[in-house]
Amino acid sequence: MDAATGSAPVLGAVDYAVFGCMLLVSAAIGVYYGFFARSSGADAYLVGGRSMSTIPVSLSLIASFISGITLLGMATESYLYGVQYSYVCLAVLLSGVVSAFAFLPVFHDLAITSAYEYLEMRFGKSVRLLGSFFFMVGVTSWIPIVVYVPAIAFNQVTGVNMHIVSSVVCLVCIFYTCVGGLRAVVWTDAVQTLVMFGGVVLVAVKGTLDVGGFGVVWSRNVDSGRIEPPLLDWGPTARLSLPSVLVGGTVHLMAIASVDQMMMQRYLSLPTLARARLALSVFTVGVMSLVLLSTYSGLLIFARYFDCDPLTTKMASAKDQLLPLLVVDSLGGLPGLPGLFVASVFSAALSSMSTALNSTSAVVLEDFFKTFFPSRRLSERQTDLLMKAVVVVMGAVCTGLVFAVERLGASVLQITISFASITSGPILALFTAGMFLPWVNTMGALAGGLGGAGLMSWLILGAQAYQASGDIRFATKPFSTEGCLYEFDRANNGSVAVPADYRSSWVWPVFAVSHVWYTALGWVLGLAVSLAVSAATGGWGSSRAHWPQPRLLSPLVRRWLPAGPPHRDYKVVELRIVQAKEDKGTSNHVE
């Protein structure tokens, strides 16, 4: 950094070469699987013929989940608010266990392509379409944030307009996702995961050496209150505490790891349940590692700028440009290394976006087209064109929505969790009701899904509007500019620190509920409405003859089913399952 001007160095020729190499490798993998190792058919395009290898799928799961949102957002989180969110690692572990033994066996047993096929088997087409619609809404609000994150990182280190960069990212991603299908997505994810780990570890090691060692990082963050024990506060308005992270975080991660189409599609690409559980285990360890590394990056940022806050001085124009600033400051004199970091952030974005686009094509084909046009039989070429068209159109739409993301007031991590919770809680409620509550009927499921999403939309959009306007603010850790060695406009720059939580008197307290509770709140609301409506429409009083087939219930529930004659609709549901397997040309593996 230039101490006189406060400007950061930009990428050099070697850095651009490293970054370009990552893009070329991603595109080359797409070309290979699209033209040289091509497998025909929708099953090959969407689930890799259900014969993928465990390690690349495990790395793909990590890459799909992490994205640049975690790499930059977690660093910003710990810089602004401390390490409270890092305790989410406990929730990652808990959600992984629940997914492996409660949800995953059902999906793998049914050998489906879209997770929402389950909802039709359990409740009917109307609920399946509702779940698919929620997925499309969630993806459409998530992809723009995924693209925005690396764009602001690139803008920080090069000055190139972020919208130009975001367009380039989308074009590369759309290309290899479009031509290569799931196999290309999984293998590019595997390469990009290794790049991600390399970039984050590099920053951690070099940054620690630059500030004088781990002891300096630790002491400066302890003194500022950033490193602290878990906050034991059950109050719903506490922004982060151990109860909110442990309970709310576990439910939020269950909605991702247990029933999300993007994750489930990868589990179902593996030939056996045992391998799917192994991939889930590797995924859990990998996510915990990257969360901790990203949190440490935020502590490094503060240790580096503990007496000259770059947000106050406008050195970083956005909160989520803090980590890129540290990178160019620490690695700027080492050709190629800043480029490696930028490549790692873009790798995270590319992997997440490609996964979302591939999963979207699965949902459109399996849930929408085949539902609305059941008698229309597409040829192999027509199916291929439909799936690729979905990837292109969805990618273009989400690229345009990037312009709206930069106008939101919170950090990308908080924005992502908040917006995702509008649909993630109700979707989890649909699958939970289906697999764990046999007396919930179709009317109850529809009402629960719609009611939960409606209430969460009102709550979350209102809360985000109040936070963007400054009517709700959460306390941050302290910052200082006393040690700045460069000049900045002190008259027009104020500290970004917020000494205490603030809520305007006219804002309802419900809008101040922590974003970590959103998914859990949507889940509980969805289940409550489902149960109430089912009770009102005869679900609670129904006999076992009206309960779902045991295979549609979680293994944790099956053991408690009362003995009795088979469900009168068992044969109908069984025929659906058998027909689905025959259509996909696959067999079932339950271990």
Q: What is the pLDDT along the chain (591 residues), one digit of tens a residue?
A: 443 344 544 667 888 888 788 778 887 887 787 676 665 556 655 655 566 788 888 888 887 777 777 778 888 889 999 999 899 999 999 999 999 999 999 998 888 888 899 999 999 899 999 999 998 888 887 888 777 777 776 776 666 777 777 777 778 778 877 777 777 778 887 887 888 888 888 889 999 999 999 999 999 999 999 999 998 888 888 888 999 999 999 999 998 888 988 888 888 888 889 999 999 999 999 889 989 999 999 999 999 999 888 888 888 777 777 888 888 788 777 777 887 877 777 777 777 787 788 888 888 888 888 888 887 887 778 887 888 888 888 888 877 777 766 665 445 556 777 777 888 999 999 999 999 998 899 999 999 999 999 999 999 888 888 887 888 888 888 888 888 887 877 666 556 677 778 788 888 888 888 888 999 999 999 999 999 999 888 765 555 556 778 889 999 888 777 655 444 444 444 445 555 555 544 433 333
CA atoms within 13 A on the CB side of 540: 7
- From CA 299, how far away is CA 75, in angstroms rounded? 7
Instruction: Of 115, 110, 108, give the one whose Cα is nearest residue 131.
Output: 115
Q: For the whole prediction, is pTM greater than 0.75?
A: yes
CB crowding 579-590: b at 16 or more within 10 Å, else e: ebeeebebeebe
Q: Which amino acid appears at position 567 of this protein?
A: H
CATH homologous superfamily of 13-584 = Sodium/glucose cotransporter (1.20.1730.10)
CB crowding 107-116: b at 16 or more within 10 Å, else e: bbbbbbbbbb
Number of DSSP helices (H) and strands (E) in the chain, helices first: 22, 2
Q: Which two tokens stand for residue 261?
A: 């189409």
Which residues fall within 8 angstroms of residue 61, CB to CB, at 6 or more apart? 263, 266, 279, 280, 282, 283, 286
Instruction: Of 281, 276, 227, 297, give the one whose Cα is nearest residue 92.
Output: 281
What separation, in Å, do the N-terminal and C-terminal C-alpha atoms of the chain show?
A: 57
* Contact criterion met (CB below 8 Å) for 347 and 63: yes
For residue 24, the tally of other CB atoms under 10 A from its CB is: 11
For residue 473, list its beta bridge partners.
502
Residue spans per domain, the chain: 13-584
- From CA 521, how far away is CA 251, in angstroms rounded? 9
Which residues fall within 8 angstroms of residue 240, CB to CB, at 6 or more apart? 81, 84, 85, 231, 514, 516
Q: Which two tokens stand for residue 441?
A: 């009927």
CA atoms within 13 A on the CB side of 366: 28
Looking at beta carbons, which pairs linking 160-169 to residues 24 or more positions away fall under 8 Å? 162/402, 162/406, 163/402, 163/403, 166/399, 166/402, 167/399, 169/346, 169/349, 169/350, 169/353
Q: Name the one residue in this structure whose structure tokens are 């959103």.
A: 518
* Contact criterion met (CB below 8 Å) for 480 and 307: yes
- From CA 52, how far away is CA 300, in angstroms rounded? 38
- From CA 346, how far away is CA 146, in angstroms rounded? 9
